[in-house]
Amino acid sequence: MASSVLKATGLWSKPAINECSNHSSGDESVISTSSASEYESDSPPSVNSAVPREIGALWSQPDAQCFHVRSKNYLKDGKKNPSEPYLFTARGLELFLTEDCPKNVAKNYTSLLGGQLRTKPTFVINFRFPWGVLLLYFEIPNKYVEYMNGTKCVKEDGKELRPAEQCICNFLAPSTDEQRNSVFKFIPIVSDGPWVVRNMVVGKPVLIGQKLPLQYYSQPAEGELAPYLEADLDVGNSSARARNITSMCKKFMKLLTLDFGFVIQGDTFQDLPEQMLGCLRLHSFDPTLAPKLPDH
């Protein structure tokens, strides 16, 4: 069993590393990924997952201040400041091997997060690789759920929200993929690892939906099931450059510490300052030990 192999090698007891690592201090990129310079727990461990969910094991959540985001006057002076605390708390991370790379996993796979996925409002980010899926889970605070299901709107009810909160509520509210893709920003960081990978992924923010095929799925609360929003990134059908980068990361995964940071872009003075949506730090592990995706 995959979990027993990991445990035997000592990877499950690997301590979390939470210090900062020069996060997102460079220029932003919304144009191309053709060169490196253009890149800007709440449930018990499960034998279904190659990556355990306990803080202090193979994943952690670094301090939000590690990330530099657009300041209030960014549109005038271009300055970035350390982020305020994350808007969403990390719930966990799972990796499964599959050739199908399914969409809308939150609806179709009830075993995720040890069967606890829909016990809380959750934002799911599904990286669909040709060889498997990497699933990131963030808890959506209850005060944002009414904007998510459309019973409240930011224009009429969000005056007490801070600018970054208004941006995240607009993102969560019913809208088109195009609208969400215009503001959903990904900050990939190689906190530790070989130079060849660090040179390819240099940590500059990118509007990921303008680089990779990205679709969103959502479901309201149903009885005891909490609502969710899922973002599915189709890495397998992306550019050759993006596929090369992910292939390189997989090759060196046992030597890498990777940060997956996300923020909703502030495009106007009223939207600023930005504040990190959330981040998951994935510590080194062997992806070949991941189990197959469960049937349901």
Residue of 62, 42, 66 lying closest to 52 (CA atoms): 42
The per-residue pLDDT of the chain, averaged, comes to: 81
Q: What pTM was estimated for this model as a whole?
A: 0.82
- Cα dihedral value 192, 195, 196, 202, nearest 10: 60
pLDDT at 138 over 70: yes
Region 83-96: mean pLDDT is 95
pLDDT at residue 248, rounded to an integer: 64
Using pLDDT thresholds of 50, 70 and 90, give the confidence band for residue 90: very high
pLDDT at residue 49, rounded to an integer: 42
Q: pLDDT digits over 241-250, tens only?
A: 656 666 666 6
DSSP state of 268: S
pLDDT at residue 92, rounded to an integer: 93
- Work out the number of other CB atoms within 10 angstroms of the CB of residue 237: 13
Q: pLDDT digits over 158-213, tens only?
A: 999 999 999 999 999 999 999 999 999 999 988 886 777 777 767 789 999 998 89
Q: pLDDT digits over 216-250, tens only?
A: 999 999 999 999 999 999 987 655 665 666 666 66
Region 96-121: mean pLDDT is 94
223: left (phi over 0), alpha (psi -120 to 50) or beta: left
Q: Omega before 273 cis (within 30°)?
A: yes
